[in-house]
Amino acid sequence: MNKFLRRLSALVHRRSLERQLEEDMAAHREMMPPDRRRNFGNPLRFQEEAADQWGWTWIDQLRQDLAYAARQFRRSPGFTLTAIAVLSLGIGVNLAEAYIFNAFLHRLDVRDVDSLVHFSRVTRQDGTRSAFSLPEIDFYRRNNTVLSAVLVESDVRDVHGQDSTDLRCPLVSGNYFTELGITPLYGRLLDEHDDRPGAPPVAVLGYDFWQNRFGGDPSIVLRTIRLNERPVQVVGIAPLRFGGLGVHADLWMTNAQYAYLTADPETGITGWADRRSSMFGRLKPGITLGAAQAQFRSLTDELHQQQPQYVAANAWLKLDPVNGSDLPTRPADLLLLGTFILLVLLVLFSACANLGNMLLARGLARQREIEIRLAVGAGRRRIIRQLMTENLLLAVLASVAALAVGKLAALLVWRIAAIPSHLRIITDWRVLAACAGLGLAATLGFGFAPALQIVKGGPRATRARKILVSVQVAASCVLLILSTFFIRAVQHSFHTIVAYDYSHMALVDPSFYLHPYAASESRRLAGEIAARLRQLPGVEAAAVVNFPPVLRARLARNPRAQFVVAEADPAYFDTVRLPLVEGRVFAPADPDPVVISESAARKLWPGQSPLGKSLVLAQQSRTVVGVVKDSGMNLIDDPESVEAYLPVSDQYVRFAVVVVRTAKRPSQLSAAIQSAASLPGVHPLVATFQGLIDQRFEGIRKMIRIIASLAAVATLLALIGIFGLLAFTVAQRTREIGVRMALGARAGDIVGIVLGQYLLPFGSGALAGMAVAAAAATVMRQLVYGMLPFDVLSFGSGLLLFAAVALIASIAPVHRALRIDPASALRYE
Amino acid sequence: MLVLRVLRSGPLHGYAIAQRIRALSDSVLEAEEGSLYPTLQRMLVEGWVTAEAGVSETGRRVRFYTLTSDGARQLEREIADYQQATAAIQAILRTA
């Protein structure tokens, strides 16, 4: 330790130490008798050896190397700029990923986030669930001694505003905002008074919703808006930095307002069985997660004694820190995330390979310089170190540029994916560390092999170049194939599977469940709306259906298959143009009839007619009266699912929706449909099927755009790489080509000379790319959208696209090779 | 070892160290005298000697090197090692 301090002080006082040593030696020589002075030796050498003892010579050498590298770069600005551009693209996209992960992992900007925990219940039957009922949460809140506060956030679906858009309005406990230390941007936030029964209905708006819907107008505070057709007073606006604890909210209300907001008599929020709330807690200081978990385990046992029908005997509570709870934990998600990270890394590989090739080419041009330096006594290690210093300088410059590129790319992704604005792209130490790490890895990746190669020289350099170019080909092939694969899958497959004529259909949702209507009332009103819509010019047919595809789903499990169940009018099949294959549709007199889809018939009774067979569905035995074609709509979610249709039941008639088929595009008619379907007190939502489907595909569309931009970057890199390689080949072999032309070689032969040696690396690169793309597509296909077929065509078109790029890249160099003038080529150099 | 041994008698500057070594070894050990300085630097790094500015007999500013307690211990170790080695060699020479 002392030794290190002495060395450090020597570094600081380097200059004066050198001077003292010089003086010592001068004095020594003066004191020596003149005849023996030659015996002293070379003072300069001793000075250097002495300096070596302190162990700081490398700093001087590094400075020399850096100065030399800077001079080299100034001498060839074209190379330097290209290299920095290529590398900063490669590092930049990876950094963008780091920016995005960082934003998601540290999305919560609330008071003392480290002491916040999120609860989930683990049981043998259901696995891990994070929904609790309010009485349960109340029990835990009253009986625990380890939490200083319990926060509740109930994510209630089916809240809509005046202009009939779905809103995310979590209902929270009264202590929610105070406990999280959130201060309002305008007005006030919710407090304990708002969460008492009978409190006036008030809401706090989220920043994004306030900006997008009310144009950021602060005067909205204290005004009344309508939610689910009920007046609600806005009391405040949440700040930008807070978007919600568990779910991203458009606005917040308190749990006490549930009954006011929804008049649905059958689903509540206050019963033991109504598990609709997320539970969060703040650990008291000094309480460990383990201790808290132990207490909640015994509390859960106690609760099981009290409420055995609601709390299972083996249930226990799992506590997770809120910070970082967004990290995927399911192996499937991890696999998907890993695949995505690898795809992004491919761009960096490609950039490194590209740069490695450029450096090799440059190294060959510098062969003479290196040879001279070796000849005058520079060690190989010293030269490699000097070349690596150049690479490091390049990587540092590129990393700095990559910070900008990465931030820009991340912001672009933010725009594409419409990420809520409280998730912010911030350059913090984590991103800087990622940047430094990537830069260092890139330096080693692109620089070491070329440096070694340059010093050794010889024919192996060409092989290295071929390997590097095949890496680039592979990387850009992977990304091109994947993006064509996804684009094609989304654009084409959906059209081919779906039997519906959905482009001419609209859904009218009167949301009866928001009103305290009896079943017969709902049924009557739905029938009336359908009848009125049939009268509307331009409407060809209308029918009532519960759980229409895409909008809502009801699943019923049967031992042999999972059914997607819809309840429909007999007119429904004709309205959506779903042809009957066998039998008939429901008749009013049928006792418990069911119509099943073709795939259901095949699955349950292969090779037999299902008509008249009985089928147990939703705890009831039913008779199959007809078979219709598969609608295909539900395959988006589950490729194994089969369909069944029941008559509209009293139990679910409050979810009734009217399906309308129009002659023209339904979007032109939606205003007329809206007004025709409006009844006193009922303001239905009108949505086109196309719009719903587009919404459903929004996620995958965003993913495609991101993968496609990655592919574009990788392809750009490959373009530069191939161009550079061929141009270099032409330049290097100008003389040879000239001689061959003089000897009568034709254009085809010349093209063969330029391209021939690269056919193998291109081919093997494309092959490797196809293999990786196939693997990645398999992973993504299984996990994201089971419906995507595995088509050869997209692989072919991806490769074709790459071939086109390679062709473009080779035009200029080949052209140049063909125009070589034999006479001047022989004088070349 | 020789430098440390010479410094045991008190602080000396570079030339004096070289003189002592020459004199004590009866000019048998004649190396380039300047090589003393890298050695002294190493001892400074190891903390075996310290250096203080002073004025030589000829009136030049030079550094005087002083043995530290670490240096004295190091000398003991080196002398012990050396004696062990020479004893071993002598034993071999006697019996061979």
Stronger pLDDT, A324 or A585, i.e. the higher one: A585
> What is the spatial distance between Cα A689 and Cα A575, in angstroms, rounded to a whole number?
13
CB A817 within 8 A of CB A753: yes
B35, B45, B60 member nearest A30 (Cβ): B60
Residue A265 pLDDT greater than 60, yes or no? no
Task: Identify the CA nearest to A469 among candidates A161, A100, A758.
Answer: A758
Residues ≥6 apart with Cβ < 8 Å to A273: A133, A310
Give CA–CA dist A263/A630, Å, rounded: 36
- Set of chain A residues whose Cβ sits within 8 Å of the Cβ of B63: 20, 24
Q: Which of A314, A295, A308 is nearest to A145 (CA)?
A: A295
- Chain B interface mutation, best of A17, A24, A52, highest count of B Cβ atoms under 10 Å: A24
Classify residue A437 by its DSSP letter: H
With a CB cutoff of 8 Å and minimum separation 6, the contacts of A538 are A662, A663, A664, A669, A672
Q: Answer whether A735's CB lies under 8 Å from A826's CB.
A: yes
B35/A41 Cβ within 8 A = yes
Chain B positions touching chain A (beta carbons under 8 Å) = 13-15, 18, 30, 32-35, 37-38, 40-42, 44-47, 51, 53, 56-58, 60-63
Residue A777: φ, ψ to 5°: -65, -35
- What pLDDT score was predicted for residue A327? 60
- Disruptive mutation site among B37, B39, B44, B65 for chain A (greatest number of A CBs within 10 Å): B37
Structural domain boundaries enclosing B51: 2-95
Instruction: Tell which wins on pLDDT, B64 or A457.
Output: B64
Q: Do B41 and A30 touch (CB under 8 A)?
A: no
**Sign, CA torsion A638/A643/A648/A652:** negative
Among candidates A155, A135, A520, A472, which has minimal Cα distance to A307?
A: A135
Whose CA is closest to A765, among A343, A338, A344, A350?
A: A350
Task: Report residue A784 as tokens.
Answer: 């994201």
CB atoms within 10 A of CB B5: 15
**Alpha-carbon span A701 to A757, nearest angstrom:** 40
pLDDT average, residue stretch A122-144? 86
**Per-residue confidence (pLDDT) for residue A235, from 0 to 100:** 93
Measure A3 CA to nearest chain B CA, in Å. Answer: 6
Which residue from B minimizes the CA distance to A39? Answer: B32
Spatial distance between the Cα atoms of A781 and A486, rounded to a whole number of angstroms: 9
Closest CA to B21 of B31, A540, A525: B31
CATH number at residue B10: 1.10.10.10
Do residue A23 and residue B60 have CB atoms under 8 angstroms apart?
yes
* Structural tokens at position B72: 């004295």
- CA distances (Å), A234 to each of A190, A215, A321, B43, in order? 10, 15, 32, 79
Please tell me the distance from the alpha carbon of residue A345 to that of residue A366, in angstroms, as a whole number. Answer: 31
- Give chain B's domain count: 1
Between the alpha carbon of residue A808 and those of residues A716, A802, A815, the distances in Å are 11, 10, 11
The pairing of beta strand A147-154 with beta strand A171-172: antiparallel
Closest by CA to A631, choosing from A550, A730, A740, A748, is A550
Compare all CA atoms of chain A with the CA of B61 and give the residue at the minimum distance.
A23
d(CA A362, CA A753): 21
Model confidence at A828, in pLDDT bands (50, 70, 90)?
A: low
pLDDT tens by residue, A284-309: 998 888 889 899 999 999 888 888 88
Radius of gyration of chain A (CA): 36
Identity of the amino acid at A714: A
Q: Which residue of B has its CA nearest to A25?
A: B34
**Paired tokens of A512:** 């009866």
Q: How many CB atoms lie within 10 A of CB A15?
A: 8
Least confident segment among A93-107, A345-359, A441-455:
A441-455
Query: Which strand (E) or helix (H) includes residue A603?
Result: helix A598-604
Tokens of A336: 């998907």
Give the other-Cβ count within 10 Å of A735's Cβ: 15
- Which residues, in sequence order, are bridge partners of residue A595? A626, A645
Helix (H) or strand (E) holding A402: helix A380-417
Is the pLDDT score of A586 beyond 90?
no
Q: Which two tokens stand for residue A695?
A: 């919404």
Number of A–B residue contacts, CB under 8 Å: 84
Minimal C-alpha gap between A59 and chain B (Å): 17
Q: Collapsing DSSP states into helix, strand and coil, what is residue A275?
A: strand
pLDDT recorded at residue A787: 47
pLDDT, one tens digit per residue, over A12-53 is 777 787 888 888 888 887 777 777 777 777 878 887 777 777
CA distance A239 to A222: 17
Q: A491-495, A625-629, A694-698: lowest mean pLDDT where?
A: A491-495
- At B53, phi and psi to the nearest 5? -70, 145
Three-class SS state of A647 = coil
> Residue holding tokens 């042809």?
A579
**Residue A481: strand, helix, or coil:** helix
Measure in Å the smallest separation between the Cα of A380 and chain B Cα atoms: 26
Report the C-alpha gap between A353 and A183 in whole angstroms: 51
Q: Could you give the 3-state DSSP secondary structure of residue A546? A: strand
The model's pLDDT over A691-746, given as tens digits with 9 standing for 90+, comes to 877 777 776 677 777 777 878 887 888 788 788 778 877 877 788 888 888 888 88
Cβ atoms of A506 and A691 within 8 Å: the answer is no
Q: How confident is the model at residue A280 (pLDDT cuts 50, 70, 90)?
A: very high
How does pLDDT run across A208-228, given as a tens digit for each residue? 889 888 888 888 888 898 888
A380 phi/psi in degrees, rounded to 5:
-60, -45
pTM: 0.66
Quote the percentage of chain A above a pLDDT of 90. 7
Q: Which of A320, A258, A259 is nearest to A289 (CA)?
A: A320
Q: The tokens of B84 are what? A: 């062990």
User: What ipTM score was computed for the predicted complex, to two decimals?
Assistant: 0.79
Mean pLDDT for chain A overall: 82
Cα separations in angstroms, A776 against A77, A339, A435 = 39, 6, 26
Query: Residue A5's closest chain B neighbor by CA?
Result: B45
- A124 contacts: CB under 8 Å, gap ≥ 6: A312, A314
Residue A493 scores a pLDDT above 60: no
Burial (CB < 10 A; 0-12, 13-18, 19+), residue A241, is middle
Query: Is A806 in contact with A766 (CB distance < 8 Å)?
Result: no
A46-95 per-position pLDDT tens digit:
877 777 777 777 777 788 888 888 888 888 887 888 888 888 988 988 88
Q: pLDDT tens digits, residue range A303-352?
A: 888 888 888 888 888 888 887 655 666 676 777 778 778 888 888 888 88
Give me the percent of chain B exceeding a pLDDT of 70.
Answer: 93
> Would you state the structure tokens that stand for residue A120, as one six-digit string?
């989930």
Measured in degrees and rounded to the nearest 5, phi and psi for residue A758 equal -100, 0
CA distances to A561, A594, A631, A738 from A615, rounded to whole Å, are: 11, 8, 20, 83
pLDDT at A79 (0 to 100)? 80
Residue bearing the bigger pLDDT, A789 or A682: A682
Q: Which two tokens stand for residue A573?
A: 């099949």
Beta strands A614-617 and A159-160: pairing type? unpaired
Q: Which residues pair with A562 in a beta bridge?
A: A557
Helix, strand or coil, per DSSP, at residue A427: coil
A205 versus A358: the higher-pLDDT residue is A205
| B21 closest CA partner among B33, B10, B38, B37 | B33
CB contact under 8 A, A49 and B62: no
Q: What is the pLDDT of residues A509-554, one digit of tens each?
A: 887 877 778 888 888 888 898 999 899 888 888 999 988 877 777 7
pLDDT at A788 over 60: no
3-state secondary structure A136-184: HHHHHHHHCCCEEEEEEEECCCCEECCCCCEECCCEECCCHHHHHCCCC
> What does R_g of chain B's alpha carbons equal in angstroms?
16
